[in-house]
Structure 1
Amino acid sequence: MRWARKAIEPLVLLRSRKGASFSSSDAGARSKWIKVGSASLGGIGTLALAWALTGDGDRQRRLKLLWTVPLRLARDVATASAIVAVDYKYSLWGLEEGSLEKTLAKHEVHLRCANRLQALCFKNGGIYIKLGQHLGQLEYLIPPEYVKVMQDSLLDKCPVSSYERVCDVFKSELGRLPHEVFVEFDPEPFASASLAQVHVAKTHDGKKVAVKVQHMHLTDSAAADTATVGFVVNLVYWLFPSFDYRWLLDEVKESLPKELDFNNEIENARMCMDNFKKLSPRIVPFISVPEVHLELSTSKLLTMEFIDGIKVTSVEGIKNLDLRPNDVAKLISEAFAHMIFRHGFVHCDPHAANLLVRVAPSGGGILGQRKRPQLVLLDHGMYKTLEPSIRAHYAGLWKALVFADAQKIKEHSLGLGAGDLYVLFAGVLTMRPWSRVVESSIDHLNVPPSEEGREEIQMYASQYVMELSELLRRLPRVVLMLLKTNDCLRTVDRALFSIEIQGAPVNTYVIVGRESSRALARLQLREGGSNFWSYVSVLVQRLEVELRLLSLQVIAWVALAWEKMNASRPLVIQQG
């Protein structure tokens, strides 16, 4: 299986225009003293920028930034040097490619460097942790050691602020201490994220609540963080043009101020639930968003209903609730497919720590009916609104992917901004090689990638790092966030999928394919009018899609049954 062997011409043409992908010669083209000098000048420039960012504000705040900016920059440079210049360069020096020795050495280097990067994220905090969380969702595209370290430590085990700092936030925002605002307040947070931590409390009317407290001075340090990350990203691009991640800086500049204002999160949560009530009445009983206590909330404090639930990736916990992991996976896929194709208003940070599951209060287990899950959506700070044209092209792209229609994949990828990198775009979206994406078999997207397939995708990603960078640079920001959402959901889906799980195999592509087809049908009826022949045309197309998806599910059923049968078959060793 080889990625894009028959459709790689666009990538080759792009490479011929922009030069070869990254190699050691990129670094050799510029002398070491220039690198050191640029880093020093960049540090001075960033220092001056930090001063300018504070304007004529509080002197103490200005002095704090003048200290934190160069300190964080020094950590960045030291970590990058340790990872790139020392560990990767010298630990793998002289080892034969493909040898067992190099494979083992590479694993150890990946693990050490992932831990260094995690330590940097913890020390610097703020947006560094946000970036680390994003790395944890990039399965297949970065070494698995990085994914595991980031997922294990940066989702809900982030550094915490002291209780004294929490009291400072309360005094600043509400003019009172936590024990004055609440009857009970646990000084120890039960969860901590990149921008805030959550405490359990009880209101004066006896309600159990979750209190989200923003880390102290984060609004001030965010400007310094952005400046520091901007310097590093631009320096890396200047030294190694193959690595152009300046788009990431643009995204941080746009999203961070919104996430730091909890009033924005309150409004997003309200709109999210309203959309489910109005546009998705069938599944609204199985969706929950914590109710906000507005009188106890500000831009840096958020008091909301406490909802008991378990992480959606805890298969054992789901089974202990007498729920089926496949039902949970299906509900998650449906909820986000509805957000994308019906609501046009999408939660863009659905990692495992932001999704809980519990038994639906409205029923389940009644008269022999199995219990149904309810999905609890947390952390509504990052949403994107999808314009109708984006939704139409995204829906058309998924339908084309279901039918392996190469021409339509190209057409809708162009509409989404991928240009001549449509082959790569389809691969990033599905995590399948192009040969698999356009394969004529019905189940071309159904089978989870094998270990060999994962390694091939990672090899492909490293081989075409310049093209990947170019693709991410040219895509509209909203499409990038859709890719991130897709990555997060894929990670959750993989955690819930296992041949030991009883029930029908869940495939995100089936649900997304169905919702994209419905979205296209609604669009066609709006544009073509509600006449008889329009309805007939839409009905025929919908039936065609449903038959295709049904065939895909039947094949998945058979494949799963076969795997279970083989797994339970005793091993027979023939003698003699």
Structure 2
Amino acid sequence: MKKNIWLDGLRSVARMGETAVVAAKAGIKYATEKPSNAKLMRETFESLGSTYIKLGQFIASTPSLFPREYVEEFQGCLDQTPSLPFSYVEEVLASEFAGRDLTEIFASIEEKPLASASIAQVHAAKLVSGEDVVIKVQKPGVETILYTDLNVLHWATKILEKAVPKVKFASLADIVEEIKTRMVREVDFIEEAKNLEDFREYLQLTNNQAATAPRVYHQYSTRRVLTMQRLYGVPLTDFEIVKQYSKDPSQVLITAMNTWFGSLMMCNSFHADLHAGNLMLLEDGRVGFIDFGIVGQLNPEVWSACIAFMDSLQKTDYQAMAENMLKMGATSKQIDTQVLAQDIERLFSGVLMADPQELLASKPSDLNDIMMDMVAVGERHGIRFPRDFALLFKQMLYFDRFMRVLAPYTDIYADQRLQMQMDPSLLLKH
């Protein structure tokens, strides 16, 4: 125990030194090359690793809190990192399953990882009982680095708030606390296992046999190791490959979207990072959802208001859009919805010209611009959107990219097969 405490302390000191070196290099680069502040910050965050990468992703998905140039720059904040030697993975497994012989659990573990991100590395394996699984193994020292970084950030924000009392983001310390809460959850794989089980229960409750998620092997999982059923499939980003497994690629996308939209209403949390690496078409034709490390939580009423907002957008009913924008966000003051409606009309008439349906055919970057403009309009009226609203919109951008591959000539949102809101009677059963 003392050895672990000593090691953690040593790692903390080393981490602070590493942070100081990277910050010094960033200062030199700023003095000599004069890059934009946003670009320099993104590059510095990527150099600093896991905590700062996650912080960058938080900035990218929270346009209501950060300046536009930073939100746009951090859209490209990369989470893929070089893989660690297999010996490190063995070290974590031996520590987590102390007292148990690994050869009695795993018949084999592939040394080359399937994926490597800032917090964890994923390896294919086979259980002694014969099942093919994947093992998500947390990288050594991640928690120590996380807490060290967050303490440094907390200390820095306190100094900044004292030095600049009128700083625009007066609740910086609160923001760091919010990031800490979310990131601590992300390094606890027991939480991720709960998210997976919740999603699987939802599929069972709704008798959804067209989609699936990996089964968790709880007896071989801990806070730092997650052992799951291995799903075999292909990503939804290659039309020709998808067509080998499905006669109608657009139906694959409809299934994925219907399943996800239903989870917004019926699960305790929703998958908030459903990019091409986390959504696949299985060999048996089902859609597979994987990696539930990043999730959001959305009040069903907020999603209902989002649906109504999109419906009123298609009808160009700006008054209804204003009323639903109020339901989507939160405000502590009286709002004049007529004035808000006029502001929304100015925004969308400028962006969409004559046809509001063009919104759904916009490029992801255009949609992102529209969202930030919409958030800005809301904020001018004192409306604050929940943070998970941004996660929700980010996922809509991911779906937009899938549409361009799987249904380039179809207006998916006008497709009768798409069900963006779950049957309320099913909610009562949950």
Q: From 16, 28, 46, give the equivalent of 1:69.
A: 16
> Can you give the 5+ residue segments of structure 2 that lack an aligned partner in the other structure?
none
1:88 alignment partner, SS class: coil
Conservation of the 8 A alpha-carbon contact between 2:116 and 2:122: yes
Written as runs of structure 1 = structure 2, the 5 A alignment for 1:414-433 is 414-417=326-329, 419=331, 433=347
CA distance in 2, matches of 1:85, 1:410: 48
**What residue number does 1:97 align with?**
none
Conserved? CA contact 1:183–1:203, under 8 Å? yes
Percent identity (aligned): 20
1:408 pairs with 2:331: no
Q: Do structure 1's residue 326 and structure 2's residue 326 form an aligned pair?
A: no
CA distance 1:442–1:512, shift in 2 (3 Å) = farther
Name the CA shift for 1:149/1:393 in 2 (closer, same or farther; >3 Å).
Answer: closer
Q: In 1, distance between residues paired with 2:157 and 2:34? A: 21
- Deviation, structure 1 residue 497: 0.8
Q: Deviations over 1:129-148 (max 9, x none)?
A: 33445677799x65999578
Matches within 5 A, 1:151-550: 153-154=78-79, 157-175=80-98, 176=100, 178-179=102-103, 181-230=105-154, 241-242=167-168, 246=172, 248-278=175-205, 280-281=206-207, 284-343=208-267, 345-359=269-283, 361=284, 373-417=285-329, 419=331, 433-435=347-349, 441=355, 443-449=357-363, 457=369, 467=376, 475=384, 479-497=386-404, 504-507=410-413, 514-516=419-421
* Cα pair distance change 1:412/1:487, threshold 3 Å: same
Q: 1:79 aligns with which of 1, 18, 26?
A: 26
Q: Report the 3-state secondary structure (helix = DSSP H, G, I; strand = E; otherwise coil) of the residue aligned with 1:490.
A: helix
Alpha-carbon separation, structure 2, partners of 1:248 and 1:203: 42
Letter in 2 for 1:401: L
Alpha-carbon distance, 1:382 to partner: 3.2
The two structures have a TM-score, normalised by structure 1, of 0.59
- Return the offset for 1:276: 2.1
Residue 165 of structure 1 and its aligned partner are, at CA, apart by 1.6
On the 8 A contact 1:243/1:466 being kept in 2, the answer is no
CA distance in 2: counterparts of 1:259 and 1:78, whole angstroms = 29
* Superposition deviation, residue 301 in structure 1: 0.8
CA spacing shift, 1:222–1:200, aligned 2, 3 Å: same
Q: Which has the higher contact order (CA 8 A, sep 6+)?
A: 1
CA distance in 2, matches of 1:69, 1:487: 33
What is the rounded CA distance, in whole Å, between the counterparts of 1:134 and 1:197 in structure 2? 21
1:384-442 CA distances to partner (integer Å, 9 max, x unpaired)?
Answer: 4434543443444343334332222222222333556999x99xxx9x95226887756
TM-score normalised per structure 2: 0.77
Cα distance in 1 between the residues matched to 2:320 and 2:62: 26
Distance 1:391 1:465 in 2: 16
Structure 1 CA distance for aligned equivalents of residues 240 and 336 of structure 2:
41
Aligned length: 412
Q: Aligned-pair RMSD on alpha carbons?
A: 4.6
Question: How far did residue 211 of structure 1 move?
Answer: 0.8
From the two aligned structures, give the one with the greater helix fraction. 1
Q: Distance in 1 between matches of 2:278 and 2:11?
A: 32
Confirm or deny: 8 A CA contact 2:278 2:290 kept in the other structure.
Answer: yes
What are the Cα deviations for residues 322-362 of structure 1, in whole angstroms up to 9, with x where unaligned?
45442333223212211113446312222222222224x3x
Shift of 1:300: 0.9
Larger of the two Rg values belongs to structure = 1
Deviates more, 1:203-212 or 1:240-249: 240-249
Q: Deviations over 1:206-232 (max 9, x none)?
A: 221111101112122211122234456
Equivalent residue for 2:6?
Answer: 59
CA shift, 1:164, in A, is 2.1
| Deviation, structure 1 residue 513 | 8.6
Secondary structure of 2:359's partner? Answer: coil
* Alpha-carbon offset, residue 200 of structure 1: 1.0
More off after superposition, 204-213 vs 306-315? 306-315
